[in-house]
Amino acid sequence: MSSEPPIIQLINVTKKYQIADDEYYEALRGISLKIKKGEFVAIMGPSGSGKSTLMHIMGALDTATTGKQLFKDKDIALYTNDQLADIRNKEIGFVFQAFNLLPRTTVLKNVERPMLYGGIPATERTKKAMQMLEQMQIESKANNLSNTISGGQIQRVAIARALVMDPSLILADEPTGNLDTKTAHEIMSLFQTLNEKGHTVVLITHEEDIAKYAKRHIRLVDGKIVSDKK
């Protein structure tokens, strides 16, 4: 495992946003970290600490202002929008807090969608999506519209969709933020099981009891890493 390059390596990454003509906001101030295959990492911090910005950069949704942003040893800061879209499609599975599924669309079609962008043929798409829904124990809702299922079920479908392209990394941004405590723990157990099966999971959260499921805890304050504990 040690011969494999880290999935994510950030070297002295900064991210600045222009908020006025001469005014910048520095969301990340020199972040360096490595995420290796099989890890279960919780990135924690108060709101405004830069954890969402860090997730966007790790998830190839955004590029760093300065510093190196390596994905499997390749500097994706230089990638075009289409190349970044390819990385998001094939290498990363996202689970968001809210607005996770496409409205007006069935559960099955939601799970199939990344495969549509990945150029996978229709019959294979349906087969694979059904497998994922079975794995998440939500196959009975396959033909339901996404707005007719519960919050816990939505997150299960979102996880099925995140896994369907067999990505190197699952990035979950406050995935339990909209769920009741019982369902939140069910979803976290699911992430734990996935990690035990070899999936790499990065979790963004501000809740300590949710972060406990992870094996490594990175704390951010004002755009800097203040602790990184296993």
Partner 1 sequence: MEYKELFISAIQTLRTNVVRTALTMLGVIIGISSVILIASLGQSSVKFITDQLSQFGTNYFQVSPGNNMRAAFGGGSGKPLTVDDSDAIKSAGISNIETVAPMGFASRAISANETTKTTTIYGLTPEGQVMLKPEMVFGEGMTHDDKNNKVIVLGIDVAEDLFGEDTDPVGLSVKVDDQKYRVIGVSKSSGGFIGGFFNSAATVPLEVLSDLIRGDDDLFEIDISVANTDLLDETMDEVELFLRDERNIKDGEDNDFNLVSFKESLGIIETVTGLLTTLIIGVSAISLVVGGVGIMNIMLVSVAERTREIGLLKSIGAKEKDILVQFLIESVVITVSGGTIGIIIGVVLAMIVSLIAGLPVIVSIPWIFIALIVSSGIGILFGLYPAKRASRLSPIDALRNE
Give the binding site for partner 1 (CB under 8 A): 56, 59, 61-62, 81-82, 85-86, 88-90, 94, 96, 99-100, 102-105, 109, 113-114, 116-119, 122, 161, 165
- Which residue is associated with the tokens 């196959």? 139
| Shortest Å distance, C-beta 90 to partner 1 | 7
- For residues 116 and 226, which CB has a smaller minimum distance to partner 1 in the complex? 116
| Cα gap 12→45, rounded to integer Å | 19
Cα(first)–Cα(last) distance of the chain, in Å? 18
- For residues 3 and 80, which CB has a smaller minimum distance to partner 1 in the complex? 80
- Which residue is associated with the tokens 């968001």? 96
| Shortest Å distance, C-beta 56 to partner 1 | 5
Which token pair is 117?
């962008």
Amino acid, single-letter form, for residue 80: T
The residues pairing with 69 across neighbouring beta strands, listed in sequence order, are 10
Which token pair is 144?
């339901």
- For residues 133 and 217, which CB has a smaller minimum distance to partner 1 in the complex? 133
| Shortest Å distance, C-beta 139 to partner 1 | 20
- For residues 136 and 217, which CB has a smaller minimum distance to partner 1 in the complex? 136
| Cα gap 142→24, rounded to integer Å | 46
| Shortest Å distance, C-beta 116 to partner 1 | 6
DSSP 106: B
- For residues 52 and 183, which CB has a smaller minimum distance to partner 1 in the complex? 52
Residues 6+ apart with CB under 8 A from 99: none
- For residues 114 and 152, which CB has a smaller minimum distance to partner 1 in the complex? 114
| Shortest Å distance, C-beta 4 to partner 1 | 23
| Shortest Å distance, C-beta 206 to partner 1 | 17
| Cα gap 120→216, rounded to integer Å | 35
The separation between CA 196 and the C-alpha centre of its own chain, rounded to angstroms, equals 17
Neighbours of 56 (CB within 10 A): 17
